[in-house]
Amino acid sequence: MKSLFITKSLLVALLMLPVVASADTIEGKMNGLNCAISGVVCPIDKADPLIALESDFVVQQPDGSFYIIPNIDRAVKARVVLEDVVVSGKVNDSYKSIQADKLEVKRGGEMQLVWSQEMENELREQLFGKGSK
């Protein structure tokens, strides 16, 4: 009886602990979607007119696989094309996508935050008022 009480008490204590969700991260190079599908890294540089032809940009990993980031605007991704990036958020392996919370770029040996959902939400609120999405 005492053992059952201890077990139940421990279970209740565990259930009362806060749940901590850890974000997944994807690291790689920001690449054009069509280039990634073709298995190459392109454009050549940030001035390459090919950037205008890309419908979207993805995080391509060294093995050639890539992840789509549907909730970050194409223009934001285009600004960091060809750079090493780290995207944090919720990964969906079935669709090879990540619902991003933040996008960081490796520059000068340090990580720089270039986009976050929080930054976007704050900007939307400033521009359009509360409750806008």
Nearest to 105 by CA among 70, 125, 123, 80: 80
Task: Tell me how far apart the alpha carbons of residues 22 and 105 are, in angstroms, rounded to a whole number.
Answer: 20
CA 125 vs. chain centroid, Å, equals 22
pLDDT in tens, 48-76: 988 999 999 999 999 999 999 999 999 99
Residues of the chain by 3-state class (helix, strand, coil), percent to 5: 30, 30, 35
Binned at pLDDT 50, 70 and 90, residue 1 comes out as low
For 69, the token pair is 């980031």
Contact 62, 28 (CB under 8 A): yes
Binned at pLDDT 50, 70 and 90, residue 41 comes out as confident
Binned at pLDDT 50, 70 and 90, residue 19 comes out as very low
> Which amino acid is it at 75?
A
Q: Which residues of 39-75 are buried (b: 16+ CB within 10 A; e: fewer)?
A: eebbbeeeeeeebeebebbbbbeeeeebbbbeebeee
Token match 């090493």: residue? Answer: 84
Residue 43, preceding peptide bond in cis (omega within 30° of 0): yes
Binned at pLDDT 50, 70 and 90, residue 82 comes out as very high
Examine the pLDDT at 8 and tell me if it is beyond 50. no
pTM of the model: 0.78
pLDDT of residue 3: 54
pLDDT of residue 93: 93
Task: Tell me how far apart the alpha carbons of residues 4 and 99 are, in angstroms, rounded to a whole number.
Answer: 43
Side-chain-side CA neighbours of 36 within 13 Å: the count stands at 25
